[in-house]
Amino acid sequence: MFIYTLTLFFTEIAWASPVELLVIVLALLLVLFLSAPLCADNLQHLSLKHYLFSAWIGVVSLSWVFWPFFIILNISLYVADTLAKMGLLTVSSWDDVHLMLLLPIIWWTTTIWRCSANTTQPIFAATCRLITLAVFFEYGLKLLIRLDYPRLFFGCEELLLDYGSCF
């Protein structure tokens, strides 16, 4: 997350400085920490037989909901962005990858917010919630780059079949 987009945001787009963004993130983390649900004292070890449904209704440990999807999401975004920057993935294929990941991201965000009480550390609940919000900020940056600054991100010289998307 943010490997290619934040550098473009700070250098080319320049809507905010790194210090301003850091202040916003810390203030948001403080708000999420203060509004975090009361954490469970004794977590039950539930069977992962019906993992997706159990996570959806909020009875799975927060770490079991957060880490698997976070790793898979970041690998997927990194591979898609790297291939797009190298010119091996067309702009419309890059759009398709992000559109396919959008529904699982919505599921993941919902499960993170529902399972936030299933941890022993309230700071972990607040950090997980902040990271899910950061994913939507990342998607907003990618949409901005895709619509207004495609020549900065995509290898438009090598995309002969999809060159119209670079304008």
Residue-wise pLDDT tens digits, 144-167: 888 887 777 776 665 554 555 665
Supply φ then ψ for residue 68, to 5 degrees: -60, -45
Residues in the chain, pLDDT under 50: 161
| 113, two tokens | 């917010």
> What pLDDT, on the 0 to 100 scale, is given for residue 46?
58
> What pLDDT, on the 0 to 100 scale, is given for residue 57?
86
| 95, two tokens | 């759009």
Nearest-CA neighbor of 72 among 143, 146, 135? Answer: 135
The span from the CA of 138 to the CA of 133, in Å, is 9
Nearest-CA neighbor of 148 among 16, 15, 17? Answer: 15
> What pLDDT, on the 0 to 100 scale, is given for residue 84?
86
Nearest-CA neighbor of 56 among 120, 130, 107, 3? Answer: 107
